[in-house]
Amino acid sequence: MKKIVIHGGRPLKGEVTINGAKNSVVALIPAVILADDIVTLDGVPDISDVDSLIDIMIAMGASVTRSEDSLTIDPRGIQNVPMPYGKINSLRASYYFYGSLLGRYGEATVGLPGGCDLGPRPIDLHLKAFEAMGAKMTMDGNYMNLSTGGQQLKGASIYMDTVSVGATINTMLAAVKAKGRTIIENAAREPEIIDVATLLNNMGAHIRGAGTDIITIEGVPHLHGTRHQVIPDRIEAGTYIALAAAIGQGIQINNVLYEHLESFIAKLEEMGVRMTVSEDSIFVEEQQNLRAINIKTSPYPGFATDLQQPITPLLLTANGHGKITDTIYEKRVNHVAELAKMAGKISTSSDQIVYEGPNQLQGAQVKATDLRAGAALVIAGLMAQGKTEITNIEFILRGYSNIIEKLTSLGADIQLIEE
């Protein structure tokens, strides 16, 4: 069993560099299946989700070489083998293999996706899009078979009933080699969608409108190899910005795209957080007398649900009371009980998180219930007086590259212990 042990209350200072976006790279790697030649991805984070995806690609016959933060994938040896179990079930992003395998072979047999338990996250929008393009779905136990019956996928007009990042990307993956034109309406607009579309276009796809709510894709017969730089991880950046505001004595966060964090930074400014925004970095000063605020998550460009939990420990330092409403994932409140164990004045009421501050958190034994909740507990542990032990840290390692080393370089007393 692995756990993180933190001796908190130490002020942090220095600088930290953000890695490539987890939520991009978990789609970019399956997208390489569609290429007819070698693809190199630069800026790939060192996280367990990437390790799992590499294992899956190798099991399918790809040749994969990793050098520092670059990943070179030769997809020419890939075979369309069924993948019902194993690594597929360990991460949510495994559903991107549906779209990429359908796009290349017209068939996919893949286990149901795993990942964090954040409440119902159905894939019906993905299936609706695939069926509109001519694929049929059958279930066999815990895995799904999608097939076109030997026919080529056909372009279609697809309206997303709700805004979905996963369904938008999966539809793009399936559509880039489909016959004719595919139009996605009410598409998600996240930066990660633009990143995936950029990779596919650099491989020879014809995608227009990524980043807007209407995406148009003209199918092409072949996609070639390319080299692609993964965008910075806006969620990792937001996590370190929140940490810097909560306990920093001057921390610079490098490799940040401000445009991807505007709604998050606007909320920090509403709290009174002092920072200096540069072209590709943000310097966060030591803070005093922050104000409590209300937060409501919404699809991009609104306040990201993935940053709701990492900002919560910072909110506990503010004067006054406020509430958080997560409109995306109903179960994204599991960090609340753990923060309460650390003497935080925080609870849930009518599907909202309510808090009061300022608080002096105390070290405790807590459990990470999902990836971003784990990040919140790390920040809380760094803020708290005394010793904090965090278990279930596999969630944290899924999404934060070299987190122990980065925090240690800022002056944190933090260790990863394996028992």
Predicted pLDDT of residue 84: 54
Is residue 372 a known part of a binding site?
no
Average confidence score pLDDT of the chain? 94
Q: Residue 69 sits in a domain of what CATH number? A: 3.65.10.10
Residue 280 and residue 349 in one domain = yes
Give the total number of structural domains in the chain. Answer: 2
Residue 56 and residue 164 in one domain = yes
pTM, two decimal places: 0.94
List of the chain residues with pLDDT < 50: 115-121
Residue 216 and residue 248 in one domain = no
The gap from C-alpha 203 to its chain's centroid, in whole angstroms, comes to 23
Count CB atoms within 10 A of the CB of residue 59.
15
Is residue 306 a known part of a binding site?
yes
Is residue 92 a known part of a binding site?
yes
Is residue 23 a known part of a binding site?
yes
**Residues 364-406 pLDDT 10s:** 999 999 999 999 999 999 999 999 999 999 999 999 999 999 9
Predicted pLDDT of residue 120: 40
Residue 151 and residue 165 in one domain = yes
**Residues 248-294 pLDDT 10s:** 999 999 999 999 999 999 999 999 999 999 999 999 999 999 999 99
Residue 135 and residue 41 in one domain = yes
Predicted pLDDT of residue 121: 46
Residue 8 and residue 91 in one domain = no
Out of 186, 210, 227, pick the residue that ends a domain. 227
Out of 210, 227, 244, pick the residue that ends a domain. 227
267-276's contacts with Cβ under 8 Å and 24+ in sequence apart are: 267/293, 267/295, 267/303, 267/311, 268/241, 268/242, 271/245, 271/314, 271/315, 271/318, 273/245, 275/241, 275/245
Q: Is 138 exposed, middle or buried (0-12, 13-18, 19+ CB in 10 A)?
A: exposed
Residue 4 and residue 29 in one domain = no
Domain range for 158 = 20-227
Pair of tokens at residue 176: 């880039």
Is residue 402 a known part of a binding site?
no
Predicted pLDDT of residue 66: 96
Residue 349 and residue 372 in one domain = yes
Residue 193 and residue 88 in one domain = yes
Is residue 207 a known part of a binding site?
no
Predicted pLDDT of residue 114: 54
Is residue 2 a known part of a binding site?
no
Is residue 122 a known part of a binding site?
yes
Residue 138 and residue 210 in one domain = yes
Predicted pLDDT of residue 139: 83
Predicted pLDDT of residue 115: 46
Residue 272 and residue 358 in one domain = yes
Residue 128 and residue 253 in one domain = no
> What is the set of active-site residues?
116
Out of 227, 262, 281, pick the residue that ends a domain. 227
